[in-house]
A and B are shown apart, each in its own frame.
Chain A
Amino acid sequence: MSDSETVIQTGKSSSKRNGFLTAISEMPVMVKLALFWLVFIVTAAIYAQIDLLLNQALPLQDPFHQPFLFGDASPVEGPSADHVLGTDILSRDNLSRLIHGAWVSLIVAVTVVAFGIVFGGFIGAFVGYVRGRSETVVMAGLDVVLAFPPLVLLLALVSIYKVRNLTLIALVFGVLSIPTYVRIARASTLGIASREFIQAAEAIGTKRRSILFREIIPNIMPALLAYALISAGFVIVIEGTLSYLGLSVQIPQPTWGNMINEGRRDIRRTILPIFWPGLFLTLTVVSLNMLGDWVQQRVAVRSSAL
C-alpha cells in the first residue's frame, strides 16, 4: 500500500508508526506548520477540559472570572504579564477563553466527521453498491436536504430549541453533515464497484455483505478521510457563524464565535477581543484546508495507481 493510507490512519496501530513518521517528514513546511497548529489547538482544548474537571487546579486563568466586578480591574485591558492576550469587555482573560472556546469547535468538528464517516460512509457505500430502488429513494431524500442553503437550514433547525447546549449543537451538525458524505461515498463506490477485484470477488461467490465491508468500504476510506479534514474546517466556520449570531451554544460557555460577537460592541475601543478569536478561527481553518488538500493529492495519486 502506498503511504497515503498510513498517513491517514494516524498511527492507530504501532506497526504503521514508521510510515506515519515518514509521511510527516515528507510534508512541505507549510503543511507541517498546519499540523503543528492543529495538534496545539486539540491539546489546548483538552487541557482546558481537564482543568475544569480538576476545579481549575492547572495553571490556566478562569475563563469566567470577571475581576472588574470586584474593582480589581477595568474592562478590556491590553496584554500584560497576568493576561498575555489582554482581557475582554467583562475583564475576562482572552487567552483562557480562546482555549476553552476551542473545545466547542473541536467537539463539533469531531462529531461531524464521525457521523459523516460512519453513517454517511456506510449509507453511500451501500446504495452505491446495491443500487436499485434504495439508491433512488436515498438520493432523492438527500436532494431535498441539500436544496437548502446550509446556513439557512441550520438556522431554521436551531431556532426550534430553547436550550442549546453543546450536545444538541454537535448532534444537529452531525446529522446535517451526513448527506454530503453519502454523496462522496456513493460516487467513490460507483467508481470502485465496476473494478476487476470486485468482479473477481463476486465471481468466486463472496457474499455481497463481505464485499461491501471488506472490499468497498476500505477502498473509499481515503477519499472520505481527505474530505473529513475539509468538512471539519467548513463546520468550524458555520459553528462560528451561528455562535456569532447568538444561536449556537449558549453563553457564558465561551466559543470563538460568541467572543467575536461580544467584542463587536466594543470595536471602537479595541479590536483585540475580536482579533484573537478571528485569528484562531482562520488559522484553524487554513490548517485543516492545507492538510486536507495535501491528503487529497496523495489520495489522488494512490487511487490512480490502484
Chain B
Amino acid sequence: MGKILTVRLARLVATLFAVSLLTFLLVEQLPGDPVTALLPPEALHDLETIERIRAELQLDDPALVRYGRWVTDALQGDLGKSYITDQRVADAIRDRIPVTMELALLATVIAAVLAVPIGAFSAYREGGRFDRMMSGFTTAALSIPAFVAAIFFIWLFTLKFNWLPSTGWNRITDKGLLANLKTAILPASALALAPLAINARLIRADMIGTLKEDYVLSARAKGLRDRYILMRHALRPSALTAITVFGLQLGGLIGGTVVIETVFALPGLGTRLISGIYQRDVMMIQGITLFVATVYVVVNTAVDLLYLALDPRIRRQ
C-alpha cells in the first residue's frame, strides 16, 4: 500500500505540474495585449504609460519566466490579480467556491440517495413494469442536456407553479438552511439527472448479479424477508463500486456546474469563469481553470486511493 501511495502521489504532482503549464500556455494565446484592455481608449496613444504598465506587470519577461513566477505564487495560494477588475483571483475563488461546492455536493447526494432504491427495486423486479419505466427514465435523464433540463425546471417550477425562485442565491450564513435550499434545489436537481441515471443503472446491474448468488438463495431459504435480503445481503457488496462512482462524479460535477450556474445566475465559480471569458480576463481564466482542474485531479486521485483502501482484494495485488 505504501508503495502504491508513493507512486500515485508522484503521478499526481507530475500531472498537476503539466496541467498548470498547459493552462498557462493556453490562456497565453489570448489575442490582444492585456494593457489595452486595462486602459481607457483615449490613453492608448500614450506609449509611455503603456510601457510603464507593461513594466509594472512584468509583461515583457519571457513566457517561461512569467510561468515560473505564476506557478510559484500559485503554490503559495496567490493566483495574481485580474487586470480588468483589479480583484485578486484567489479572493474571487474563495468568494465563490461555497456555491459551486454546495451545488456539486447536493447533486451528488441527490443522485446517490435516489439511485439506491430505484436501482435496487429495478433489480428485484427485473423486467417488470417499474424496471421498464425506470429504464426509460434513465435513458431520458442521460440524454437531456443539463442546461435544457435546468431551463425546463425553471419554466415548470417557477413560471407555471411559482414554487421556487428561478435565479439568485441565499447564503446559508445569511438566511438559514431552508432559504438556501430553496435556491439550491433546482440547479442541483438539474445537475443530478445524469449521475442519478448512471448510478441507478449501475446499482441495478450490480444487484442483478448479486441476487443470483448462492448466499442470497440461502438467505431466502432461511425465510428472511425480501426487503431485508435486498438491503443487508445484496446492497452491501455493491456499496464499494457505488462509492467510487459517486466520488468520481463529484469531480465531474464541479465542471458541470459552470453552465448550470449561468442558467440560474448563481454567484459561483462557473459564472465567474464565464464572465472572465467574456471580458478576456487572462488572470481570472488562468486562475479558475487551474483551480478547477486541480480539484478535479485531486478528488479523482483521492477516490482511487479510497477504493484501494476499502477493497482488500485489490490492495493485496
User: Which residues of A does B touch, CB under 8 Å?
Assistant: 140, 143-145, 147-153, 155-157, 159-160, 162, 233, 237, 240-241, 244-245, 247, 260, 264, 267-268, 271, 274, 278, 281-282, 285-286, 289-290
List of B residues within 8 angstroms of A278 by Cβ: 144-145, 148, 151-152
Q: Complex formed: what's the CA distance from A105 to B265 in Å? A: 26
Interface residues of B in 22-41 (CB under 8 A from A): 22-23, 26-27, 29-31
B15 contacts chain A at the CB level, 8 A cutoff? yes
Chain B contact residue count (CB 8 A cutoff): 45
* 9 A-B residue pairings within 8 Å (CB atoms): A143-B15, A145-B22, A147-B18, A148-B289, A148-B293, A152-B289, A155-B258, A271-B155, A290-B139
Query: Is there a chain A Cβ closer than 8 Å to B88's Cβ?
Result: no
Q: With an 8 A cutoff between CB atoms, is B280 at the interface? A: yes
Cβ–Cβ < 8 Å partners of A144 in chain B = 15, 18-19, 22
B72 interfacial contact with A, CB 8 Å: no
Binary contact readout B82-96 vs A (1 if CB under 8 angstroms, 0 otherwise): 000000000000000
Q: Min CB distance, A243 to chain B, in Å? A: 10
A156–B27 CB distance below 8 A: yes
A41 CA to B54 CA, complexed, in Å: 52
Q: With contacts A149-B255, A155-B277, A157-B26 known, is A264 near B139, CB below 8 A? A: no
Q: Is the CB of B289 within 8 A of A267?
A: no
Residue of A143, A156, A162, A241 near B26 (CB, 8 A) is A156
Bound complex: CA of A147 vs CA of B290, how far in Å?
10
Cβ-neighbour of B147 out of A143, A148, A247, A260 (below 8 A): A260
Q: How far is the CA of A282 from the CA of B142 in the complex (A)?
A: 9
On whether the beta carbons of A245 and B259 are closer than 8 Å, the reply is yes
Asked, given contacts A162-B31, A268-B159, A290-B139, whether A148 binds B145 with beta carbons under 8 Å apart, the answer is: no
Query: Would you call B26 and A286 a contact (CB within 8 A)?
Result: no
Q: Which chain B residue shows the least CB distance to A163?
A: B31
Give Cα A159–Cα B285 distance, bound, in whole angstroms: 9
**Cβ B148 vs Cβ A156 within 8 A:** no
Is the beta-carbon distance between A147 and B293 smaller than 8 angstroms?
yes
Query: Is B292 within 8 A of A152, CB to CB?
Result: yes
Contacts of A274 in B (CB 8 A): 151, 155
Query: Across the interface, do A289 and B143 meet the contact criterion of CB distance under 8 Å?
Result: yes
The answer on a CB contact under 8 Å between A152 and B255 is yes
B184 adjacent to chain A (CB < 8 Å) = no
Q: Which residues of B contact A240 (CB under 8 A)?
A: 145, 147-148
- List B contacts of A289 (CB < 8 A): 139, 142-143
- A152 to B289: give the CA distance in the assembly, Å: 7
Asked if A149 and B145 make an inter-chain contact with CB atoms under 8 angstroms apart, the answer reads no
Number of A-B residue pairs, CB cutoff 8 Å, is 115
B172 at the interface (CB under 8 A from A): no
Query: A247 — which chain B residues lie within 8 A by C-beta?
Result: 277
Chain B residue at smallest Cβ distance from A285: B143
In the complex, A143→B297 CA distance in Å? 10
Kindly list chain B residues whose C-beta atoms are within 8 Å of the C-beta of A160. Answer: 26-27, 29-31
Min CB gap A295→B, angstroms: 15
Q: Which chain B residues lie closer than 8 Å to A148 at the CB level? A: 19, 255, 289, 292-293, 296
Task: Report yes or no: B297 in contact with A147, Cβ–Cβ below 8 A.
Answer: yes
Question: Which of B15, B18, B145, B273 has the most A CB atoms < 10 Å from its CB?
Answer: B145
B274 at interface, CB cutoff 8 A: yes
Q: Which of B152, B256, B274, B296 contacts A245 (CB 8 A)?
A: B274
Q: Which A residues are CB-close (under 8 A) to B27?
A: 156, 159-160
Does chain A have a CB within 8 A of B247? no
B140 interfacial by beta-carbon distance below 8 Å: yes
CB distance from B205 to the nearest CB of A (A): 13
State in angstroms the CA–CA spacing of A152 and B27 once bound together.
Answer: 12
Q: Which residues of B273-298 have CB atoms within 8 Å of chain A's CB atoms?
A: 273-274, 277, 280, 285, 289, 292-293, 296-297
**CB of B192 closer than 8 Å to a CB of A:** no
A156: B residues at CB distance < 8 A: 23, 26-27, 285, 289
Q: A149-B251, A267-B159, A271-B155 are in contact. Are A155 and B145 (CB under 8 A)?
A: no
Which residues of the partner chain A approach B274 to less than 8 Å between Cβ atoms?
A: 155, 245
Task: Return chain B residues, CB-CB under 8 Å to A143.
Answer: 11, 15
Instruction: Please name all residues of chain A whose beta carbon is closer than 8 Å to the beta carbon of B296 when the two chains form the complex.
Output: 147-149
Bound CA–CA A282/B148 (angstroms): 9
Whether B115 is near chain A, meaning CB under 8 Å from some CB there, is no
- Cα–Cα distance between A140 and B13 once the two chains are bound (Å): 12
CA distance A244 to B256 in the complex (A): 14
Quick one: closest A residue to B296, CB to CB?
A: A149
Kindly list chain B residues whose C-beta atoms are within 8 Å of the C-beta of A241. Answer: 145-147, 259
A231 CA / B16 CA spacing, docked (Å): 26
B8, chain A: closest CB distance, angstroms: 12
Q: Are A245 and B26 in contact (CB under 8 A)?
A: no
| Nearest-Cβ distance from residue B34 to partner chain A, whole angstroms | 14
Nearest B residue to A148, CB-CB: B293
Q: In the complex, what's the smallest C-beta–C-beta distance from A148 to chain B, in angstroms?
A: 5
Q: Does B98 contact A (CB under 8 A)?
A: no
Closest to A230 in B: B142
Q: Are A147 and B148 in contact (CB under 8 A)?
A: no
How close is A56's CB to chain B, nearest CB, in angstroms? Answer: 29
Q: 5 more A-B contacts (CB under 8 A) besides A140-B14, A151-B256, A286-B140?
A: A144-B19, A148-B19, A148-B296, A149-B251, A289-B143
Nearest B-chain residue to A263, judged by Cβ: B151
Distance of A210 Cα from B252 Cα, bound (Å) = 40
Taking a contact as CB atoms closer than 8 A, the residue among A151, A155, A245, A260 that contacts B148 in the complex is A260
Which of B140, B147, B252, B280 interacts with A244 by CB under 8 Å?
B147
- Interface check B154, CB cutoff 8 A: yes
- Closest B-chain residue to A157, C-beta based? B26
